[in-house]
Amino acid sequence: MNTVTRPRILVVGAGFAGVECVRRLERKLNTDEADVALVTPFSYQLYLPLLPQVASGVLTPQSIAVSLRRSSKYRTRIIPGGAIGVDIKAKVCVIRTINDEIVNEPYDYIVLSPGSITRTFDIPGLTDHAFGMKTLAEAAYIRDHVITQLDLADASDDPAEKASRLQFVVVGGGYAGTETAACLQKLTHAAVKRYPRIDPGLIKWHLIDIAPKLMPELGDKLGKSAQEILTRRGIDISLGVSIAKAGPEEVTFTDGRVVPTRTLIWTAGVVASPLIATLGAETIRGRLAVTADMNLPGHDGVFALGDSGAVPDEAKGGDGAICPPTAQHAMRQGKVVADNVIATLRNQPLKPYVHKDLGLVVDLGGKDAVSKPLGIELRGLPAQFAARGYHWAALRTNVAKVRVATNWTLNALAGDDFVRTGFQARKPATLKDFEYTDSYLSPEQVRDQVEGAGTQEP
């Protein structure tokens, strides 16, 4: 019997935006009003802001992977795979399932929340040698990789090899890069005590950014405080500098310096998921150009939000500004978009998304932090309480909250064992391997696939 007589709502991506949307649809829609499906390559929602703490071993990977199947009350059909194209005319989403089948999924309403990928530039060697900090696999990989460098440096008698294994470069002075450099420096600083053959003076972390300031969104004073904390801890900060070239054993900075290193972590911004380009619709810096109610103009059932939607920032007075790509916005947009999907379904008016930014919290590891909640500038322990308190409260399930709190406590009391798991050793580990950036179809390939040709192997 064909059960699909109800309108079909398809949500793409189970991140901050997608999961909030789905949970609200489940709560507010009557079961006979619509069918809800969620396309997601993973069975969890990733709490990205705590990723640097997974890389540094303060948290286990599972503690920030919040299950999508925690409750039997959840009635959304989960499609395990990634959307690789959307035909908004035919109202079909093309999905590559996790067992590599290509499936055409028809929909009546689609909510696009596939988030973003690491933004790269045309720098020689970059995509082959840099790691990002966007996925759980990347964070776990980087942790193992950093510990591997210590293990191999300890075992080596070659000064050149030691030097390149013990220098680490992080590009990107936004909160993601700054937290990554800060947390990983804590890791190597603590770990080196267990490596008697390594001179701690040889370990060097570099944090570089082409911008003149670290985390400009924090304001001058707090940005400077963060810089002072990191410099005091021995992190070499270079501003106005980027990467000219990356190789397997060295990186060349744009100021001419050549740094021997086997660890280049690239966190210089994000760009909307390549899925958005497959629609062939208008975009703003890669994000789908939607209205304040997150609807694609001219296409009533198409919505986009989070890092992949260019949602006008109405709280800024409608001067053309779009909401920054943050979890803070994505979560709240998820709720509003669910209301708007339901309103469309019920022929009711849509409501615009308006949210005034609550500020930023930055965990620099241990007792170090800088935060600016509601415009109040905090440093040290109060900032750390604000940072951890905010993240803890924002975790979606109680189980995740307990896991994270237990991990924090355990780490504070017992420290880290610096175990290298080796799970991902010898696997390809470029940005495209972790973020599947080459899986997407072109708009023409989407059309062919939907019309039944489907001959191209993307």
Ligand X SMILES: Cc1cc2nc3c(=O)[nH]c(=O)nc-3n(C[C@H](O)[C@H](O)[C@H](O)COP(=O)(O)OP(=O)(O)OC[C@H]3O[C@@H](n4cnc5c(N)ncnc54)[C@H](O)[C@@H]3O)c2cc1C
Q: Which of 326, 371, 384, 449 binds ligand X (CB under 6 A)?
A: 326
Q: Is 35 in the site for ligand X (CB under 6 A)?
A: no
Q: Which stretch binds ligand X (CB under 6 A): 9-17, 247-255, 258-266, 415-423?
A: 9-17
φ/ψ of 233, rounded to 5, equals -85, 5
Q: Is 203 in the site for ligand X (CB under 6 A)?
A: no
φ/ψ of 168, rounded to 5, equals -135, 135
Per-residue x/- marks for ligand X, 272-291, CB under 6 A? Answer: -x-x----------------
Asked if 52 and 184 count as a contact pair (C-beta separation under 8 A), the reply is yes
Q: Which of 15, 172, 286, 312 binds ligand X (CB under 6 A)?
A: 15
Q: Is 18 in the site for ligand X (CB under 6 A)?
A: yes
Cα 61 to Cα 54, 348, 414: the distances in Å are 6, 42, 18
Residue nearest to ligand X (CB): 15
Q: Which stretch binds ligand X (CB under 6 A): 1-9, 49-57, 187-195, 395-403?
A: 49-57
Q: In the numeric block, which tokens belong to residue 23?
A: 């949970």
Q: Is 452 left (phi over 0), alpha (psi -120 to 50) or beta?
A: left
Q: Which of 53, 76, 113, 371 binds ligand X (CB under 6 A)?
A: 113
CB of 10 to ligand X, least distance (A): 10
User: Containing H/E element for 343?
Assistant: helix 327-345
Asked if 11 and 305 count as a contact pair (C-beta separation under 8 A), the reply is no
Q: Is 365 in the site for ligand X (CB under 6 A)?
A: no
Pairing of strands 35-40, 8-12: parallel
Per-residue x/- marks for ligand X, 70-99, CB under 6 A? Answer: ------------xx----------------
User: Containing H/E element for 168?
Assistant: strand 167-171
In sequence order, which ranges of 38-118 are alpha helices (DSSP H)?
Answer: 51-55
Distance between CA atoms of 451 and 208, rounded to whole angstroms?
48
Q: Is 54 in the site for ligand X (CB under 6 A)?
A: no
Distance between CA atoms of 320 and 304, rounded to whole angstroms?
17
Measured from the CB atom, the residue of 15 and 57 that comes closer to ligand X is: 15
Q: Which stretch binds ligand X (CB under 6 A): 109-117, 148-156, 219-227, 279-287?
A: 109-117
Per CB under 6 A, contacts with ligand X among 117-176 are 133-134, 175-176
Tell me the site size for ligand X, rule CB under 6 A.
35
Tokens 């991506």 label which residue? 13
Question: Burial code of 106-120, b = ≥16 C-beta within 10 A, e = fewer?
Answer: ebbbbbbbbbbbbbb
Instruction: Supply the DSSP symbol for 440.
Output: P
Measured from the CB atom, the residue of 213 and 245 that comes closer to ligand X is: 213
Q: Which stretch binds ligand X (CB under 6 A): 222-230, 279-287, 319-327, 375-383?
A: 319-327
Measured from the CB atom, the residue of 164 and 267 that comes closer to ligand X is: 267
Residues that bind ligand X (CB under 6 A): 12-18, 39-42, 46, 48-49, 51-52, 82-83, 113-115, 133-134, 175-176, 273, 275, 306-308, 325-328, 330
